[in-house]
């Protein structure tokens, strides 16, 4: 495609990114490198007001590729968690099936997937933005079209007038409704998530079993995954199949940690008691249904509103979420700045076509694999073990 000379779609444009997750912050970095005027609006009160969760692994042809394009690969190398990309797979008795030894870290190896704490990743991205790019305490409420621009309204009473709006506001995106009315579907699986701040003291047996790796404990119909955090804590996910709306009908008060603990030890009653130590050490649980957007979703492009990451293509967890959001950010920044399109609508349409095509493939894989993760059969457990052993 020929470059359309003289057309700069970002010139004199104010861009609002809703959501300061990895996708939104990466996009802000890439757009600022191209001279764009960008603000990122985030509902968190400040940079340190909320724990960001567990580690994420970046992949050679997606997350790490984007880090290089954003000029941040050296900053990433200074912040990633060495050795945390290992996997340990155990059965319900905590017998070790797989002890992965990844060898030396090699950023030129396409199979190397280094892990980084979500908080460290967020801090690194923010540090490499222009001062005051992130506008904190800005929970998005709505937006109104005024001419060809948008007036954004926030819960704190503030407003902003912008030319381009990009929803990077996750699986509960409020921006999405301005792009499409396609709703999420329930996968049939859900996770109960918890965090332990000081596992070395509170659940030392689990801490030793995790050993700064990704731990997966599996039995027929049930899984527990445990990951380290950069702070030294642990995040765990107790996964299984649940009826839709089970959260509303089960009668468990998820604000009462003791009641959730009692449910979990009964549900996992024939597992090694060291997993009960994990549950007991957690004082705050969250139930997360694993939803997804239809993989064949389509919509007509808007002239100045679009989506990236989970706001665009929510899918069950498969290790691709952050990586895909970063690729979305790279593709969108290139479509808006490469001079190949005569107007914003054409650039956004080209980006969305590429984004949805990629997400369709990854989404199908994630949906196909969710039952094997949340409710594995003996066959799927055996296959997973053999896959890791053959690496």
Task: Write out pLDDT tens, residues 151-161.
Answer: 999 999 999 99
Residue 157: DSSP 8-state: S
**Residues within the annotated binding site?**
50, 57, 118, 310
Count of C-beta atoms within a 10 Å radius of residue 285: 22
**Does some domain include residue 100?**
no
| Whether residue 65 is found in the same domain as residue 127 | yes
Q: Indicate the average pLDDT of the chain.
A: 92
Looking at the structure, tell me whether residues 163 and 199 fall in a common domain: no
How many domains does the chain contain in total? 2
Considering the domain architecture, whether residues 254 and 339 belong to the same structural domain is answered as no
Tokens of 145: 């079209």
Q: Could you tell me if residue 216 is inside a domain?
A: yes
Residues 313 and 346 in one domain: yes
Say which CATH number the domain at 25 has: 3.50.50.60
Asked if residue 382 and residue 256 are part of one domain, the reply reads: yes
Cross-strand partners of 240: 190
Tokens of 383: 């296959």
> d(Cα 109, Cα 214) in Å, to the nearest integer?
20
User: Hey, what are 218's tokens?
Assistant: 């599996």
Measured distance CA(321)–CA(313) in Å, rounded: 9
Task: Write down the pTM of the prediction.
Answer: 0.93
Kindly state the tokens that stand for 129: 């933005």
Per the annotation, binding residues for FAD are: 57, 118, 310
Q: What is the DSSP pairing of strand 14-18 with strand 164-167?
A: parallel
Radius of gyration of the chain (CA): 22
Cα-based angle 110, 169, 232 (whole degrees, multiple of 5): 60
Residues 245 and 135 in one domain: no
CB 192 within 8 Å of CB 264: yes
Do 177 and 321 reside in the same domain of the chain? yes
pLDDT of res. 248: 82
pLDDT at 391: 64
Q: Which residues of the chain have pLDDT under 70?
A: 1-6, 50-53, 102-103, 391
**Does the CA dihedral 72-78-79-83 come out positive or negative?**
positive
Q: What is the pLDDT of residue 228?
A: 92
Same domain, 274 and 234: yes
Q: The domain containing residue 55 runs over which residues?
A: 14-83+113-183+294-371
10-64 per-position pLDDT tens digit = 999 999 999 999 999 999 999 999 999 999 999 998 888 766 567 899 999 999 9
CA separation for the pair 333, 10 (Å, rounded): 10
Does 119 share its domain with 268? no
Q: Which residues are annotated as a binding site for NADPH?
A: 50
CATH number of the CATH domain containing 264? 3.30.9.30
Tell whether 158 and 302 lie within a shared domain.
yes
Residue 102 included in any domain: no
Domain identity same for 34 and 173: yes
| Statement to judge: residues 367 and 378 lie in one domain | no
What's the CA angle centered on 182, arms 178 and 183, to 5 degrees?
A: 110
């Amino acid at each position: 495609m020929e470059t359309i000379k003289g057309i700069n779609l970002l010139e004199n444009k104010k861009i609002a990114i809703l959501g300061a997750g990895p996708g939104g912050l990466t996009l802000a970095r890439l757009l600022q490198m191209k001279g764009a005027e960008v603000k990122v609006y985030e509902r968190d009160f400040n940079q340190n007001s909320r724990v960001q969760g567990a580690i994420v692994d970046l992949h050679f042809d997606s997350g790490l590729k984007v880090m290089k394009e954003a000029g941040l690969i050296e900053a990433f190398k200074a912040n990633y968690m060495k050795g945390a990309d290992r996997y340990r797979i155990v059965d319900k008795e905590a017998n070790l099936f797989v002890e992965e030894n990844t060898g030396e870290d090699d950023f030129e190896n396409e199979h190397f997937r280094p892990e980084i704490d979500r908080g460290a990743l967020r801090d690194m991205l923010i540090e490499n933005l222009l001062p005051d790019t992130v506008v904190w305490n800005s929970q998005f409420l709505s937006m109104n079209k005024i001419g060809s621009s948008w007036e954004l309204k926030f819960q704190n009473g503030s407003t902003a007038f912008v030319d381009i709006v990009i929803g990077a506001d996750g699986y509960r995106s409020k921006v999405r409704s301005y792009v499409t009315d396609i709703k999420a579907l329930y996968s049939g699986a859900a996770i109960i998530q918890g965090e332990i701040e000081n596992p070395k003291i509170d659940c030392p047996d689990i801490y030793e079993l995790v050993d700064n790796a990704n731990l997966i404990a599996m039995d027929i119909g049930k899984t527990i995954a445990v990951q380290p955090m950069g702070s030294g804590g642990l995040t765990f996910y107790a996964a299984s199949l649940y009826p839709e709306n089970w959260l509303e009908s089960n009668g468990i008060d998820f604000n009462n940690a003791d009641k959730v603990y009692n449910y979990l030890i009964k549900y996992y009653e024939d597992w090694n008691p060291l997993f009960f130590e994990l549950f007991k050490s957690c004082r705050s649980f969250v139930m997360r249904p694993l939803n997804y957007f239809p993989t064949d979703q389509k919509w007509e492009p808007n002239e100045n509103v679009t989506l990236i990451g989970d706001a665009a293509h929510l899918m069950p967890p498969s290790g691709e979420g952050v990586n895909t959001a970063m690729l979305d950010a790279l593709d969108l920044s290139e479509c808006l700045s490469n001079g190949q399109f005569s107007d914003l609508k054409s650039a956004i349409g080209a980006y969305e076509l590429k984004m949805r095509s990629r997400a369709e493939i990854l989404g199908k894989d994630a949906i196909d694999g969710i039952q094997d993760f949340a409710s594995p059969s003996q066959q799927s457990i055996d296959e997973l073990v053999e896959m890791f052993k053959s690496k």
